[in-house]
């Protein structure tokens, strides 16, 4: 699936990318298994000995993992599958002190995943071996959130530095989870179509009349980086915007929002009141779950309702589901990019093509 690096000549990913089960099976391993994925807030493993079991991308990767906080406060991500007979070790979140114990035959592991003990194995030859340890999975903490990757194809720090370079002046350590506005949406469309829609402001005047009134669409702008990209929304007259310090790269502009996309499936929308995190999780090749999580700056007015984010989401879902039906037409092959307005979509499609081809 070649996508030219020259947006003026490039064509989009073909329609079959969004509708073919075999292509989706490739995407699972070549994109999602090798990328950094948000899994939880670090509050789930706040104390030493805390353990938080989860399935990474249920129904897609289906990998049982567990987050643990060891005695020194170090966060680790381990395989949650006992190396004896394959039972899940940690079934419920909770505190496990300094050891994980399998409930099947009593095999025990330290919180770094190393084998500790096992009853009735004194006569076993060459035991224990490294194969008896739990596999460690790369894990990172950032903005109070936890990210993991089964087999990372790129450095997490390389992916996020453009975000921190621009918004690092904000009191990010004061972001607090807000249940209001935090909810899940199920979309009858391929996960990548949802990302396509997010990655361009081209559709805003046609699909989002209320948002279009809040933004000065003539100044809408895009910036591309290696594994993320940015859309910059400029506030129209009378709309809320950031108060930027001198020296900040956008100083002098009335920034309504910075809309960041982090490959492959995460959106971080920074508003004056805080952060709206959008996690796009494929359920299969034509169904997607989108989780909206809201984080508010402490001591800042919380006017999330004025941004009409839920109304915007409903408008996006309607158009994306319509596209999912349309791209399956016998007459649709692939489209072209607007060089001025679809830079982010082109960037995304280039990355998808690159990962599917193998790096």
pLDDT tens sequence across 298-351:
877 665 554 467 788 888 889 999 999 999 999 999 999 999 999 999 999 999
Structural domains in the chain plus CATH codes? 16-35+155-357 (3.90.380.10), 40-142 (2.102.10.10)
Using CA of residue 34, residue 37, residue 39, residue 40, what is the dihedral sign?
positive
Q: Which residues of the chain have pLDDT under 50?
A: 306-307
Predicted local distance difference test score (pLDDT) of residue 269: 95
Find the radius of gyration of the CA atoms of the chain. Answer: 22
128: left (phi over 0), alpha (psi -120 to 50) or beta: beta
Predicted local distance difference test score (pLDDT) of residue 314: 83
324: which 2 tokens? 């999912």
Burial category of 55 from C-beta neighbours within 10 Å (exposed 0-12, middle 13-18, buried 19 and up): middle
260 forms beta bridges with: 230, 268
Predicted local distance difference test score (pLDDT) of residue 310: 75
Alpha-carbon separation of residue 342 from 9, 200, 347 (angstroms): 13, 5, 9
Rounded to the nearest angstrom, the gap between the alpha carbon of residue 61 and the centroid of all alpha carbons in its chain is 14
Q: Which DSSP state fits 185?
A: E
Predicted local distance difference test score (pLDDT) of residue 308: 67
Q: Residue 250's closest CA among 277, 268, 272, 280?
A: 272
Predicted local distance difference test score (pLDDT) of residue 180: 81
The CA distance from 144 to 39, in Å, is 11
The CA distance from 59 to 57, in Å, is 6
Predicted local distance difference test score (pLDDT) of residue 112: 96
Q: Which DSSP state fits 338?
A: -
Output the pTM of the full model. Answer: 0.93
The CA distance from 226 to 254, in Å, is 26
Across the chain, the runs of DSSP E, i.e. the strands, are: 37-41, 50-56, 63-69, 75-79, 94-95, 99-101, 108-110, 115-117, 136-137, 139-142, 145-148, 175-187, 221-224, 228-234, 255-262, 266-271, 274-284, 287-297
The CA distance from 222 to 259, in Å, is 9
pLDDT digits (tens, 9 = 90+) for 85-95: 999 999 999 99
Predicted local distance difference test score (pLDDT) of residue 306: 47
Q: Which DSSP state fits 11?
A: B
59: which 2 tokens? 């129904």
Q: What are phi and psi of 198, to 5 degrees?
A: -65, -35
């Amino acid at each position: 699936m070649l996508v030219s690096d020259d947006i003026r000549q490039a064509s989009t990913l073909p329609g079959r990318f969004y509708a073919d089960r075999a292509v989706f099976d490739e995407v699972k391993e070549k994109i999602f298994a090798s990328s950094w994925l948000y899994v939880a807030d670090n509050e789930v493993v706040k104390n030493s000995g805390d353990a938080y079991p989860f399935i990474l991308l249920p129904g897609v990767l289906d990998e049982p993992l567990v987050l643990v906080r060891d005695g020194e406060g170090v966060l680790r991500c381990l395989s949650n599958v006992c190396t004896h007979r394959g039972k899940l070790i940690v079934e419920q979140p909770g505190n496990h002190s300094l050891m994980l114990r399998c409930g099947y035959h009593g095999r025990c592991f330290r919180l770094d995943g190393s084998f500790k003990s096992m009853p009735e194995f004194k006569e076993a030859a060459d035991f224990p071996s490294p194969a008896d340890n739990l596999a460690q999975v790369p894990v990172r903490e950032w903005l109070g959130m936890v990210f993991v990757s089964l087999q990372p194809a790129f450095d997490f720090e390389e992916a996020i530095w453009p975000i921190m370079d621009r918004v690092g002046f904000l009191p990010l350590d004061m972001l607090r989870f807000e249940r209001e506005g935090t909810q899940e949406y199920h979309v009858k469309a391929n996960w990548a179509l949802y990302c396509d829609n997010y990655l361009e402001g081209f559709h805003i005047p046609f699909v989002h009349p209320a948002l279009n009134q809040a933004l000065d669409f003539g100044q809408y702008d895009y910036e591309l980086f290696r594994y993320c990209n940015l859309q910059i929304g400029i506030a129209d007259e009378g709309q809320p915007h950031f108060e930027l310090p001198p020296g900040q790269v956008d100083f002098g502009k009335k920034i309504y929002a910075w809309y960041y996309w982090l490959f492959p499936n995460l959106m971080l929308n920074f508003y004056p009141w805080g952060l709206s995190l959008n996690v796009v999780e494929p359920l299969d090749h034509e169904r997607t779950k989108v989780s909206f999580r809201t984080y508010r700056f402490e001591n800042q007015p919380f006017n999330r309702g004025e941004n009409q984010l839920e109304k915007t989401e409903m408008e996006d879902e309607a158009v994306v589901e319509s596209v999912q039906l349309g791209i399956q037409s016998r007459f649709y092959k692939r489209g072209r990019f607007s060089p001025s307005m679809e830079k982010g979509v082109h960037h995304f499609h280039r990355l998808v093509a690159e990962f599917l081809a193998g790096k």
